[in-house]
Amino acid sequence: MNNDDEELAAYQASISAQNDPSQGQEQKGGAFERMKGDDPNWRVKTGEGQATLADIKKRRRDELEEAQEEGVSRKFKIVNFTSEDSAVVGEKTIISHYCSICGEHCVAADAKIMKLPRRRTDKSFALEEAMHFHKKYANFGERINLKRPNGVEQQYRFYCRQCRQPLGYRPRPDSETCKFSYFYHDALVEEQSHAIALR
């Protein structure tokens, strides 16, 4: 066979591969397998029970992937994360306070409200707003004027969102700053289970 005949045969084979793509892939795969089989680099000679370098690398790669998967699952061991689980130094503990009737979450503060100083006139707990962080989860009502021995006192009361129990008051509206927030002595509990509705 001369060069022209070889080129013609190669051309006819390429045309038939274009007309039938599955046959061309089989031919390519077969050619690759023949090429791989003929190449001495593809032949691996191992004895009984011996592993190739590729087997060792694959086993090591699988072990590393398993270790990574185990490491990921270890991150989720703490199911309920609170401020007490935090390792941040100097972070203040936030204490939740609940309505004494229905158990609704009403106040979060960095101080125990029941341990704060009391006001002389009505024995309410006085929270100094500039000194203590706090957040009220309450509905604010209208201004109420109370007659006191010194004159008239203005109170802007706040109420439980669920049962509307009065929780306390401020001398100014919620939008303005003031020195103190006052909480009635029997309006809040530190444990939700101590609320009357949940006993």
Tokens coding 107: 């106040």
Gap between the Cα atoms of 169 and 140, Å rounded: 9
Gap between the Cα atoms of 89 and 87, Å rounded: 6
Burial pattern 138-148, b for ≥16 Cβ within 10 A else e, equals beeeeeeeeee
Contact call for residues 85 and 78 (beta carbons, < 8 A): yes
pTM: 0.55
Strand order, beta sheet including 95-99: 134-136, 105-109, 95-99, 188-189
Give pLDDT tens digits along the chain (199 positions): 566 667 767 766 666 655 555 544 444 455 555 555 555 555 556 666 677 788 888 889 998 888 777 766 555 555 566 666 666 556 678 999 999 999 999 999 999 999 999 999 999 999 999 999 999 999 999 899 999 998 999 999 999 999 999 999 999 999 999 999 999 999 999 999 999 998 8
Contact call for residues 94 and 109 (beta carbons, < 8 A): yes
Axis crossing angle, helix 3-19 with helix 21-38, rounded to the nearest 10: 130
Which of the 8 DSSP states describes residue 111? S
Which of the 8 DSSP states describes residue 123? -
